[in-house]
Amino acid sequence: MLPLGRSLLLLAAGIAAADDGIWLFEQFPKARVEKAHGIAITDRFLDRLRLASTRLEGGGSGSLVSPRGLVFTNHHVASDCVQKLSSNERDFLGDGFFAATEADEKPCPDEAVNILVEIKDVTAGVNRGIGANASAAEANRLRKENRTRLEQDCSGRAGESCEVVTLFSGGRYHLYRYKKYTDVRLVFAPEVAIAAFGGDPDNFTFPRYCLDVAFLRVYENGKPAVTQNFLPWSKQGAREGELAFVSGHPANTGRLAPMAELTFYRDTLYPPLVASLSRAIADVQRYSAASAANKREAQDLLFSLQNSYKAYFGFLGGLLDAELMARKKDEEASLRAGAAKTDPRGNAAGVWPEVEQAYRAYATFARAHYFLESRPGRGSELFDLSRKVFRYTAEKAKPDEKRLREYASSSLPRVEQRMFAQVPIEPELEIVLIGSYLDTLRRELGPSNETVRAALNGRTPQAAAADYVRSSKLASAEERKRLAADPAAAASSNDGMIRLMRILDPEARRLRARFEDQVEAVTEGAAARIGKVRFALFGAEDYPDATFTLRLSFGPAIGYRNAAGKQIPWATDFAGLYRRATGKEPFHLPKRWRKPPPGLALNTPFNFVTTADTHGGNSGSPTVNAQGAVTGILFDGNLEGLPNRFVYRDRMERSVHVASQGIAAALRSVYGAGRILKELGVE
């Protein structure tokens, strides 16, 4: 082990390394950027970027790029809307979509767009009433009740929502107030064949050739919203070596996670998760191969499952990397030594053993908790809607602070929007998905598990799924509204999906309570104590893990040398796209792309890479230059960068973007989308 002074120095250097950081806007390291890159970042720059950045509740990021509510995001972020607007008669995923006029813009059934307008530190309020002798479980319950009250007190204004976000794993809590738009309409989406060119083989790789972009519009009172804060479109576009800033909502990282948590992910949680995703992919692929209609119905879902599989496989690979784990072990040893130095009374010394004990306990029921409560029914629209209806009726009858957090009054408008939306439900695909899920339950919990036995009732997973789906009417939004309005009707319903929820929910709730009392209560309380140590050691030179809340990252657009020693350039161009195209899936081009259209300069930069520190949830994040002008959009990272969930490295690790000049060229020369270019100020 390194001497204390040197190890703490290395730990601090790791935190402050080069362009490392998923920074809170209010804690952005302006001095570091100026020192390293010679660029002065002003509060005006940060405020405008924050107020133009959007979070899509369907998952992902975006930005306002015009004064009339035009939202710029990824095709794969907007594809849920595109899929739900499609049918066998109008395949917007396959054929693309462009609203030639404002009147042609189509409402997304269940999307919402949020803009962060106010940040307030409420750490004291969240911890109010927690006595020194309170048990960990009681303290956890009080924190949840306090968070619910703070959100409810904040959420009285129409068109706004509030959320208490956890930072530093409970070391700090902020209240975020959002401007919320629930009328969101599709303006433009290219064909999926060019948006996701290369499909699963090219996913998480570079070089890439994807037009992974879409434009939406937010409306208020039936008219395009007036949005004063928006990002201008760069006249020059992305350039090699230029510093890029990426503003978005990375979902989850584990940079601050203790070793006990990382080894839990590696040994207990990630292996069955990866295996379940692999089985679900195989099931959906078989369904897709049966017909062209099946392929269209499952295309977006299949990409999502494949994307998740690759991501978690990469995360697991990072945790199996001896070098990475040795680095994390050294970091923790240094932090524990720092705790002894900053806390001479030794109160912090017991934190890490407490966390280790909590994860040992969690390992005994983690699989059941994950598959029954945390992520049940992955990919199934019907499962998700049925669970919402079933829990909604039960939770609304309780006092606000006693409800499950996601059903608190401040959260109900979003739950109701999602629950009552008229969305397409494909019964045969649902049978495949729910059958795959029941098969996972049987494998992971065991066929003798009481809940599994009750759900299957002597049937195969697919036969049970067929019964639950075919005897359900919850594909109808009207039926969901009827049951949600009458707790007695929901409680006594013989609807197939409600019957399934009635079987699964008691055990899911029991596991949730056990997790919150025995694991979350300990780890969140311990993290707050560890956070105090970090604050004492590093202060503002530290940043919290990602929590699907707004962050800002930065890094230059530069190439790299891959593991095989090949030099990878900073950008691709349209000429490379045509060289890559073979005419066969997934390297086939849509009809309008098969020959380069007149006016499309083939040397125009198309996709490019930066060292910006980005993660899942950043998809759709605007990429801007030091003047705050859009030079691209983040849509992926490379395989080498997946372990950056736990560390930051930039030797081969890269974020992948679509270049703004490539987007403008495609809109102009391929799609004739002059009205979008005019609104962007390009023409």
Which residues does residue 180 pair with via DSSP β-bridges, in sequence order? 114
Side chain identity at residue 353, one-letter code: P
- Look up the pTM and report it: 0.95
Structure tokens at 553: 């990252």
Structure tokens at 368: 């059941």
Give residue-wise pLDDT tens across range 376-389.
Answer: 999 999 999 999 99
Q: Identify the pLDDT of residue 344.
A: 67
Residue 63 to residue 69: CA distance in whole angstroms: 10
Q: Identify the pLDDT of residue 346.
A: 62
Give residue-wise pLDDT tens across range 538-550.
Answer: 877 789 999 999 9
Q: Which of 53, 59, 15 is nearest to 615 (CA)?
A: 59
pLDDT band for position 13 (cuts 50, 70, 90)? very low
pLDDT of 399 strictly over 70: yes
pLDDT band for position 17 (cuts 50, 70, 90)? low
Poorest-pLDDT segment among 337-341, 503-507, 558-562, 672-676: 337-341
Q: Identify the pLDDT of residue 14.
A: 43
Start-to-end C-alpha separation, the chain: 61
Q: What is the 3-state secondary structure (H, E, C) of 124-182?
A: HHHCCCCCCCCCHHHHHHHHHHHHHHHHHHHCCCCCEEEEEEEEHHHCEEEEEEEEEEC
**Contact, 508 vs 367, CB < 8 A?**
no
| Neighbour-count burial for 548-575, b at 16+ CB within 10 Å, e otherwise | bbbbbbbbbbbbbeeeeeeebebbbbbe
Q: Identify the pLDDT of residue 131.
A: 94
Tell me which residue has tokens 């990282």.
253
Q: Identify the pLDDT of residue 529.
A: 84
Domain boundaries, the chain: 18-112+185-254+545-680, 123-180, 259-535
Structure tokens at 191: 């064909």
Side chain identity at residue 194, one-letter code: I
pLDDT of 16 strictly over 70: no
Angle between helices 461-470 and 496-515 (to 10 degrees): 120
Which residues does residue 290 pair with via DSSP β-bridges, in sequence order? none
pLDDT of 245 strictly over 50: yes
What DSSP assignment string belongs to 292-354?
HHHHHHHHHHHHHHHHHHHHHHHHHHHHT-HHHHHHHHHHHHHHHHHHHHH-TT-TTTTHHHH
pLDDT of 413 strictly over 80: yes
Give residue-wise pLDDT tens across range 134-178.
Answer: 999 999 999 999 999 999 999 877 889 999 999 988 889 999 999
Does the domain at 18-112+185-254+545-680 match CATH 2.40.10.120? Answer given as yes
Count of helices and strands (H, E) across the chain? 27, 20
Residue 474 to residue 463: CA distance in whole angstroms: 19
pLDDT of 192 strictly over 90: yes
**Contact, 378 vs 435, CB < 8 A?**
no
Residue 517 to residue 140: CA distance in whole angstroms: 7
Give residue-wise pLDDT tens across range 613-657.
Answer: 999 999 999 999 999 999 999 999 999 999 999 999 999 999 999
Residue 631 to residue 276: CA distance in whole angstroms: 38
| Whole-Å CA distances, 618 to 60, 76, 214 | 6, 12, 15
pLDDT band for position 498 (cuts 50, 70, 90)? very high
Where are the extended beta strands (E) located within 41-145?
Answer: 53-56, 61-64, 70-73, 97-98, 106-107, 113-121
Task: Label residue 468 exposed, middle or buried (CB < 10 Å: 0-12, 13-18, 19+).
Answer: buried
